[in-house]
Amino acid sequence: MTKRFILNQLINNEISTEIALKKLLLLAIDLDNVFLKTWAKKELEGYDKNDEVPAYRKIQSLNFIYSGFNGIYQITNNPLPLSFFNLSTSEEIKEIEIKDSIKIIQEKSQIFDKQLYIDRTYLAGEVYKNTSREFLGIRCFKISQIFQSSQYTEIINKINLKMLEFFLELEKKFGNLDNLNIISKKSNEIQKFENQTQIMIKKITMVNIGDYNKFDKPILCNERQDVIKLNNNKIKNLVFKNQIKIKEIKSKYNFWTLIFFPLIVIIIGELIIRLI
C-alpha cells in the first residue's frame, strides 16, 4: 500500500480521517519526524486545555438562543441578539476552539437531527443587566450558542487536506515510499529475531544428572545426547559399585557364619546336657 494509494483514498473519501491519521502517525514514528508525530497524535487524541489549536479548528458562531422570560412573557428557544452581551464578551465567545479528538469531531459531523451547542447560561446575569435599562429585562434560564454539523465537517476536510500536503512532502523527500514498508520491514526483522530467540530458548536447557549435580552453564540441544550418555554411564557405574559392595558384604557374612555357627551349636548342646 503506497502513499499514492493513501492519497487516492483520501481524495475519494475511501478511508476515514481517523484511520488515515493512524497510518500517518506510524509513518512519522518510523521516520522519527517529531513535528508530524506530534501533530497526528494531537489530532487523534485531541488537544489539551492549554494547547494552541490550529486555525482550522477555530469556528465562529453568532447564533444564540435563550429560554426564559422577556418581561412578563415566557420564551422558549428564542434568538438572543449579540448586542445583549458586553462587547468584550461577544468578542471572546464568538470564536470557539474545537479541541475534541478526531473521533468526536467525526461523530458530531454526522449529527443532523439535533442542534450542536455550547452552554452559555453563565452569561444570564450579564444579559439581564444589559436589558433591564430599556426593557423589563430578559431573564434567561438557558442560553445556548448554536453550531452546525457542517462546521465540524469543514474541520475534517481541512485535516484531510493537511494530511495530503504531508504525504506529498514525504513523497517528494523519500520518493514513492510504501507508507507501511518501513513498518513491515521492521516488523519482519522483529518477528525473525523473535523466532530465532524462541528456537534458542527451546534449544537451551538446564540438565540435571543422577546425583543432583547441575551444569553451571546452559547446554545446547546438540550437546544433550552427550550429556544423556554421560548421565547413563554414571548411573551404570554407581549400580556396578553398589553390586560389588553387596557381594563383599555377603562374602563377609558367609565367612563369619562358618566360624561361629558350629561353636554356637556346641555351647547349646552342653547347656542341654547339664540341664538334664
Domain range summary for the chain, segments of one domain joined by +: 1-202, 204-276
Q: What is the pLDDT of residue 215?
A: 40
Residue 8 has pLDDT above 70, yes or no: yes
The HSE-up count of residue 175 (CA atoms within 13 Å, CB side) is 1
- Confidence band for 195, pLDDT divided at 50, 70 and 90: low
Of 160, 118, 165, 161, the residue nearest 142 (C-alpha): 118
Return the DSSP state at 82. G
The residues near 56 (Cβ < 8 Å, ≥ 6 apart) are 154, 155, 158, 159, 162
Q: What is the pLDDT of residues 143-185, one digit of tens each?
A: 999 998 999 999 999 999 999 888 888 877 777 655 445 444 4
CA distance 44 to 166: 16
- Phi, psi dihedrals of residue 113, rounded to the nearest 5°: -95, -5
Q: What is the pLDDT of residue 187?
A: 46
Exposed e or buried b for every residue in 112-138, given b needs 16+ CB within 10 A?
eeeebbeebeebbebbbebbeeeeeeb
Residue 68 has pLDDT above 70, yes or no: yes
Element (H, E) at 95: strand 95-97
- Confidence band for 132, pLDDT divided at 50, 70 and 90: confident
Could you give the maximum distance between any two Cα atoms of the chain, in Å? 153
CA distance 152 to 156: 6
More confident call, 129 vs 214: 129
Q: What is the pLDDT of residue 6?
A: 73
Mean pLDDT of the chain, nearest integer: 76
Query: How many angstroms separate the first and last alpha carbons of the chain?
Result: 118
CA distance 136 to 270: 147
The residue whose grid cell reads 530458548 is 201
Q: What pTM, to 2 d.p., does this model score? A: 0.59
Paired with 205 in beta bridges are 219
Q: What is the pLDDT of residues 221-270, one digit of tens each?
A: 444 445 445 555 655 565 566 566 556 655 655 555 556 656 666 676 66
> What region does 77 belong to: left with phi over 0, alpha with psi -120 to 50, or beta?
left
Query: For the chain, what is the total number of helices (H) and then of strands (E)?
Result: 9, 6
| Cβ count within 10 A of residue 158 | 14
CA distance 150 to 9: 22
